[in-house]
Each structure stands twice: as structure tokens, then as C-alpha cells.
Amino acid sequence: MPTRRTFLAGAAGAALAAKMTRDELPTPALLLDLDAFNANVERMTAHLKKAGRAFRPHAKTHKCPEIARRLIKAGAVGACAAKISEAEALAAGGTTGLLVTSAMIGRHRIERAVKLARLRPETIFSVDDARNARDLSDAAGSARLKLNLAIDLLVGNRTGIEPGEPAAELARTIAKLPNVKLAGLQSYANNAAHVIGFEARRAFSKKAMARAVETRRLIEKSGIACPLVTGGSTGTYNIDTEVDGVTEIQPGSFMFMDMDYNRIGGAGGPVYHDFANSLTVLTTVISKTSRNAAIVDGGFKAFSTDKPFTPEAKGLAGVTYAWAGDEHGKLTTAAGPVPVELGDRVEFIVPHCDPTVNLYDSIFVMKGGAVDAVWSITARGKSQ
């Protein structure tokens, strides 16, 4: 039975929780298998080192300064952040080498970008509009500093300026502005990451990243330095490193993995085995009113619900999870009794790791059956 120490908050609570076992944790709880996590990081860093590419993993996956610092220690040049508020939380936690991958549109974001650059001068901000570049230069001038800008290219289907001449013209505009400097190209092909089948994904991503590399050549023909071409994902990390001119890869999910990435297929076959599932959500069976169904204490509020499939129970072959509301999930089998009892702990592989992490304040780092550490997810909810 959980003791009072289970519910303590802050540093003291984390220290006490780190002495707990898996069966003492309050549920639902976010767990990280430390050995699997470390193996994932080692595999990614080894590949990128061999390929001669820099590594700036995306922190939107973990939102945790402790993880960002560990990745930098492992060889990363910094961390990507999706939003300025996320970058602020990471910087406050000691993260360096930040690249903010969305544009600083609006006065409040620009003011926060300038403030962050004062704390972390090496920070890079994405831009895809000439007027926005001018606004950033003006704000930087008023603060007597210089901002590093990466041109966001539309190599996917979300944000960015068209590659080629439109991007080259923006580079020429940036080069004329007094208080900004072109750092390179932000080139994330978001629609390549989950293309099913390795060869199909390979062709898709190579085509997208080739446009970024050609844009870099076009900019450099104008006499403007463009040292950085950054992009890529967990799904394309070993594809984009084949593209000459791509200098940096920014994968995120590889460290945790999820059901969505498990299904995309790897170079060796239909199942993606490159990285292990290190992230799970632990739940408790809280009701079993019949032999053929059981209720766990993890529902919509415990898992991301943006995918067309439900969490997968670890070690329970043939058991199906179904949403049963905000707080509950229902376990059933095709035939026969559900092989769990009241009070049993059930661990689930999550459908989508990034938004699932965003539901929790902390992550319990597990080594074997014991809690090795508790890491705060300090950028949770930082979506501004």
C-alpha cells in the first residue's frame, strides 16, 4: 500500500520517490526504462558520429532539462524547442545550444526571444518572412545584441518559405539587416517521418532534403554564408545522413519510442526495431466486476488520444485496451477471462510519446523494478 511519501512534492518528494519500488508508485505514472533509454541514445549518437553529422535532438518529445543535459553530455550540440516558452524552461534548466523551430510572430514572442538571447546568445530562431526578420532585427538593435536566424523552409507541409529563390531572397534580406545573422536553414519535412515502409520513406525524405541542400547552394552563390542545414526525424535519421549537405539531424522520439513509430517499418523489414520502447505508463487494476473485463485507472488523461489506435499492454498478449472515459481504461480479451486481478499493475506502450509526456509533471526513471531517479518535466504545458 502506498505510503504518505508517495504524495510529497518538490525536491524532497523526488528524493523519497527515488527510494520507491514500481509497486509503490501512485498511478497513472510515467515510467522510463533507464537501460533502454541509454541504449537508444548510444545507438543514435554512434550513428550520427559515424555519419559525420551534428545532433540537436528535439526537446518537444521530453520537455525535461535533465534529459536535454544528458543528451548534450552524450554528444548533442544543443536542443530544439518547438515554442519560445519551451525554450525558456530548458534554458532555465541549464540547456545550451537551443534552436526554436517555430517563428517568433508577435511582439510578446519577439520580446521573449530577445530576453532568451541575452541569457543564451547562441540560440537560433526560425524565420520565414522578411517583415518578421526586420522586426527581430529592430528588437535586437534596441537591446544591443544580435540574433541568430535560421530560414524555415517549406520542405514539409506546415510552416516555412518556399525553397529556392524565395528563400534565397529572404537570405539576402537578412544579410542586409544590422542586428541579425543567418545561421542556416531549418528544414523539417514533417510529412516524411511516418511514411510507411523504409524505401518509400527514403525516397520521400531524400527528395525533400535535396531541396534544402540546393537552396543552401543558391544562397551561398550570393556570397552569403549558410553553414547549417538542420532537419530530420526519428523516422529518417538514417536516411537524411545520406544526403550530402545536410549538416545536422534533430530527431526526438528515438529516445522513448511509441506505437506510432513501431509501425513505420525499418531498413530490415516491416517492423521498426532501430530503437526500444523505453517509455511506458503504469496503471493499476481498480475494478474487476466480471471475469471478462477489468478497469485500470488510466484513461484519456493518462495517454495521448490523437492516434487511431489505443495503448498496448506490455506482457499481456491478447488483451485489448479500450477508452472508458477521462480516468478509466477497459481491458478485455477476445475470449476467456482477463488475466489480471484487482490491484495488479499494468504497463502500457503509449500511442504517441510527445503529447503523452505533456500530461505529466515528472517521469519515474526505472532501473529494474526500482525507481532510480525522478526527473521533472518542467516544460510541460509550455506551448506558447
Give pLDDT tens digits for 349-361.
999 999 999 999 9
Q: Examine residue 266 and state whether it is found in any structural domain, yes or no.
A: no
Closest by alpha carbon to 134, among 83, 183, 176? Answer: 176
171 inside domain: yes
Q: Are residues 306 and 226 in the same domain?
A: no
Q: What's the pLDDT at 9?
A: 45
Percent of the chain with pLDDT over 70: 95
Q: Please indicate, yes or no, whether residues 42 and 126 belong to a single structural domain of this protein.
A: yes
307 in a domain, yes or no?
A: yes
pLDDT at residue 1, rounded to an integer: 34
Q: Could you tell me if 348 and 279 lie in one domain?
A: yes
Name which of 34-43, 216-225, 268-277, 300-309 the model is least confident about. Answer: 268-277
CATH of residue 212's domain is 3.20.20.10
The phi-psi region of residue 58 (left if phi > 0; otherwise alpha if psi is between -120 and 50; otherwise beta) is beta
Q: Is the pLDDT assigned to residue 67 strictly greater than 90? A: yes
Residue type, 166: P
Q: With bands split at pLDDT 50, 70 and 90, how would you rate the model's confidence at 3? A: very low
Claim to verify: residue 168 and residue 83 sit in the same structural domain? yes
Do 199 and 179 lie in one domain? The reply is yes
225 and 290, same domain (yes or no)? no
How many CB atoms sit inside 10 A of residue 48's CB? 22
Q: Are residues 131 and 219 in the same domain?
A: yes
Longest dimension (CA), the chain: 74
pLDDT-based confidence at residue 290 (cuts at 50, 70, 90):
confident
- My answer on whether 72 and 217 are in the same domain is yes
Average pLDDT over residues 16-44: 92
20 with 60, same domain?
no
Question: Is 9 part of any domain?
Answer: yes
Question: Residue 382 falls within a domain, yes or no?
Answer: no
Same domain, 53 and 177: yes
pLDDT at residue 271 in the model: 77
Q: Which residues have CB under 8 Å from 33's CB, separation 6+? A: 276, 278, 279, 280, 366
For the cut 90, the answer to whether the pLDDT of residue 203 exceeds it is yes
What average pLDDT does range 250-278 have in this prediction?
93
| CB distance 344 to 285 below 8 Å | yes
Structural domain harbouring 83: 35-256
Same domain, 297 and 163: no
pLDDT classification of 18: cutoffs 50, 70, 90: low
Q: Is the pLDDT of residue 4 over 50?
A: no
DSSP H helices, the chain, are 10-17, 34-51, 65-74, 84-92, 107-119, 130-142, 165-176, 198-221, 237-240, 259-262, 353-357
Is there a domain that residue 198 lies in? yes
pTM confidence score: 0.94
Show which of 256, 282, 312 is a domain's final residue.
Answer: 256
Residues 6+ apart with CB under 8 A from 257: 40, 234, 275, 276, 277, 278, 279, 353
pLDDT in tens, 135-186: 999 999 999 999 999 999 999 999 999 999 999 999 999 999 999 999 999 9
Specify the number of domains making up the chain: 2
Burial 208-238 (b: 16+ CB within 10 A, else e): bbbbbbebbebbeeeeeebebbbbbbbbbbb
CATH code of residue 16: 2.40.37.20
pLDDT digits over 68-107, tens only? 999 999 999 999 999 999 999 999 999 999 999 999 999 9
Answer whether the bond into residue 57 is a cis peptide, omega within 30°.
Answer: no
164 Cα distance to chain centroid: 28
**Phi, psi (degrees; rounded to nearest 5) at 301:** -80, -5
**Same domain? 26 vs 86:** no
